[in-house]
Structure 1
Amino acid sequence: MGNKVEIIAFYLPQFHPMPDNDEWWGKGFTEWTNVGKAKALFKGHNQPRVPADLGYYDLRLPIVREQQVELAKEAGVTAFCYWHYWFGNGKRLMADIFNEVLKTGKPDFPFCLGWANHSWYAKNWNSDGTSTNKLLIEQIYPGIDDEKMHFAFLLKAFKDPRYVKIDNKPFLLIFDPISIPEEYIQNFKRWTEGAGFDGLYLVANITSPSISKKELLARGFDVVTYQRIGGMVSPQLHKLGKVGRGLFKIYQYAKGFILKRPPRMIDYSKYYHSLITEDDQCVDVIPSIVPQWDHTPRSGWNGSLWVNSTPYFFYKHVLEALDAIKNKPQNQQILLLKSWNEWGEGNYMEPDLKNGKGYIEALKKALKKGLE
């Protein structure tokens, strides 16, 4: 293995009030609203999660963003992947934080973009585990004028010296690689080359075993990354077929009812081995490392969650990920960290009252050992 591994952490630019959230959820709503009102659903459930070193921060404050970078550097994170929301015809959400980063040149820390190309819904969770969705804003792909407008914005970011590039190709992740029209992919790649780069390093995010890596590579993506959060999309369940998955879901909810525990619980101390597979050794795959997960602040009893997720098991998980990439070329020794600060999904590295800097220290320790 080389002497440096790129650790690119997903970053949610949401922790501040904004007009759309005020309209949809009430004045002053931020991600902290769900985090703060979360309830423990069973004995020993680690909720609510309380931030430690940075407190309930407001991302509009530059000092907070600088403090985040200092913690990220301490952990061994080498870049942030800011979630980027472009819904079509120039409509963006949560844009002001990244705009500020781009405009001011601060923090002086590498970054790239992940296009979160999905519609937003207000979900009402039902007692049987189903949900009813109210569309808040739709992701659309209007065509060539939208493509040009979007690319003009992306190019400003690509040209920033902090922007992550692989072999002089800007790194761009697509959250939903299935829905994006091939025309967007081809034009973005062609225009990036026309702007003087050696191409566009397109990363496809795969969330289901039914999605084919081969098809995505054929469509123009350079690499894929697998999000194996678990639950109903795990490969083992996928093999059961539709009827089998339905029966398993009934079993989950019956078990949850009897044990008085949320039905979609996974034991991280056993499951973390499933987060890295032989597929991650391929040069066209970027492994994902995940410290912890608990979606119940957003979705309550029906949320998926991991129990027994501790810094120690995360450390072991990172070592397995490092082992998967050790034989790759130096420029392909990359890990995606999901996530730096997804507090509403219990999916974060930042210090909290329970673990302090535990996850930061675990990553740092694993990188030191893995690079020996």
Structure 2
Amino acid sequence: MSESKIKFLAYYLPQYHPIPENDAWWGKGFTEWTNVVKARPLFKGHYQPILPADLGFYDLRVPEVQRQQAQLAQEYGIDGFIYYQYWFGNGKMLLQQPAEQMLKNKDVTLPFCFCWANETWKGIWHGLDNPEVLIEQTYQGEAGYKTYFNYLLPFFKDERYIKVDNKLMFHIYRIEDIPDLEVFTNTFNSLAIKAGFGGMCLISTVTSNPNFIIANNDFYGQVGLDIFFKMRYSKKPFFVNRSFLGKIENRIRMHLNGSYKIGVRTKPLVFDYKKGASNFNIQFPNTKYISCVFPNWDNSARSGKKSLIFKNATPKAWQEHLQIATNESLKNPKNPPFLIIKSWNEWAEGNHLEPDSRYGLQWLEAVKNVKATLKDL
């Protein structure tokens, strides 16, 4: 990674290749691109479809694509990718091919780590009209965690894998869903030490319990702009809790006194990114926070009228948002030196850094501009 004071890590979606499950749920050859090209404006001034530019409608089965992505990310100041990893238990995985392919492709030099997206997939959350379970997340205790760790071990041993004081960085999407959390952490931590590492650096998204969110969030009123990580160190692993766009739905529901329901909403929820970002200022309450920022968000490509949209998300507003978060990190040198960006390529959520047909490379140029301010220090 570069030698700047703060490392910029971006979430990476490995969805852009056909798999049998997606064929069965959405039709032969489905990928996120299928939703992206079908998107249409929902109100005056709404810009859709949001289409890719330089990298095109890529297929992650092509090794050259990942090399190009990594090269572009490095050129513009991204220090690593956080690959979403879908392990459902009993050895069942989805969308693992890009990461496995990347592991073998040493032309991809960008550092990486994983986020275990431990969530049951339901149709209502993935663009379908029915609430049925598509695939269930399961847990098999110590034996299952050992199997999972052993699958991940070749990735952990790779020199590109991101470590903190020789601890393996590993994100967890829904920590509250793990029924035997202590068993999980003890198993992963002991196996990491046995493999020659310092243990695990475990990072989790914040619990979806509304009371927990309120109790741990000083910026409840700034919907969508209070995205941060809260880190809790222990003698073994340490955790980072993150309030994150996927959980904003819960906070909006509370804000509307229960009158809002995702499944029956008939028009999108629209918020002003530019106005919010210009006033955005994250106050680190202790030494255990890491900021998370987002350049844009419009998931109408996937969710249609049930979507969440941040209008006026421009590269200029994004750069202001990123600069403020970076400055706050610099003011807190005792905090871990990372800043998380959501995301590199979640196109159906309108949440990306990759070049698009409207702004080209400007999302990445904003990152590069902010990174340049770190080199001057």
Task: Tell me the TM-score normalised to structure 1 length.
Answer: 0.87
Q: Give the 5 Å matches for 1:181-330.
A: 181-182=180-181, 183-206=183-206, 208=208, 210-211=211-212, 221-228=238-245, 231-234=248-251, 238=254, 245-247=257-259, 249=260, 262-272=267-277, 277-279=282-284, 282-329=286-333
Q: Distance in 2 between matches of 1:357 and 1:55?
A: 13
Instruction: After superposing the two structures, state which structure 1 stretch, 343-352 or 17-26, moved more.
Output: 17-26
For the Cα contact (< 8 Å) 2:295–2:351, is it kept in 1? yes
Matches within 5 A, 1:1-372: 3-123=4-124, 132-180=130-178, 181-182=180-181, 183-206=183-206, 208=208, 210-211=211-212, 221-228=238-245, 231-234=248-251, 238=254, 245-247=257-259, 249=260, 262-272=267-277, 277-279=282-284, 282-329=286-333, 332-372=336-376
What is the CA–CA distance in structure 2 between the aligned matches of 1:31 and 1:263, rounded to whole Å? 20
**Contact in 1 for aligned 2:205/2:240 (Cα 8 Å):** no
| Aligned equivalent of 2:222 | none
Describe the SS at the equivalent of 1:211: helix
How far residue 109 of structure 1 moved from its aligned partner, in angstroms, is 1.4
CA–CA distance in structure 2, aligned partners of residues 228 and 271 of structure 1: 15
Pair 93,312 (structure 1): closer, same or farther in 2 beyond 3 Å: same
Q: Is the 8 A contact 1:74 1:360 kept in 2?
A: no
Q: Secondary structure at the match of 1:35?
A: helix
From the superposition, tell whether residues 149 and 31 of structure 1 become closer, same or farther in structure 2 (CA, over 3 Å): same
User: Among the aligned pairs, what percent are the same residue?
Assistant: 39
Distance in 1 between the 2:281 and 2:190 partners? 33
CA distance in structure 2 between the aligned counterparts of 1:215 and 1:371, rounded to whole angstroms: 26
Which is worse superposed, 192-201 or 202-211? Answer: 202-211
Task: Give how far 1:125 is off.
Answer: 10
Residues 358 and 340 (structure 1), Cα distance of their counterparts in 2 relative to 1, 3 Å cut:
same
How far does the alpha carbon of each residue in 1:232-272 deviate from its partner, in whole angstroms, 9 at most, with x for none? 444x975x5xxx5225x49x9xxx98xxxx44111001222
- 1:215 is displaced (CA, Å) by 11
Partner of 2:223: none
Aligned residue pairs total 354
In structure 2, what is the Cα distance between the partners aligned to 1:365 and 1:84? Answer: 30
Deviation at 1:230, TM superposition (A): 7.7
Once the two structures are overlaid, the 10-residue window that deviates more, 175-184 or 76-85, is 175-184
Following the alignment from structure 1 to structure 2, what is the Cα–Cα distance between the partners of residues 333 and 179? 28
Task: Name the residue aligned to 2:227.
Answer: none
SS in 1 for 2:100: helix
Instruction: Output the CA distance in 1 between the equivalents of 2:280 and 2:50.
Output: 24
Q: Give the whole-Å Cα distance in 2 for the aligned partners of 1:169 and 1:179.
A: 23
Bigger mean CA deviation after superposition, 212-221 or 109-118: 212-221
Give the aligned residue type for 2:18: P
- 1:204–1:216 contact (8 Å) kept in structure 2: no
Letter in 2 for 1:289: V
Matched position secondary structure for 2:56: coil
Unaligned segments of structure 2, at least 5 residues: 217-229
Alignment-mate amino acid for residue 266 of structure 1:
F
Query: Does the 8 Å CA contact 1:169/1:200 hold for their aligned counterparts?
Result: yes
**Distance change >3 Å, CA 144–CA 30, structure 1 → 2:** same
**Structure 1 spans left out of the alignment, 5+ residues:** none
Per-residue CA distance 1:46-87 (angstroms, 9 max, x = gap) = 111111101111111111111111211122000011100000
State the 1:104 CA deviation: 3.1
Alignment-mate amino acid for residue 142 of structure 1: Q
Per the alignment, in what secondary structure is the counterpart of residue 81 of structure 2?
A: strand
Question: Taking structure 2 as the reference length, what is the TM-score of the superposition?
Answer: 0.86
Q: SS at the partner of 2:290?
A: coil
Range that drifts further, 318-327 or 334-343: 318-327
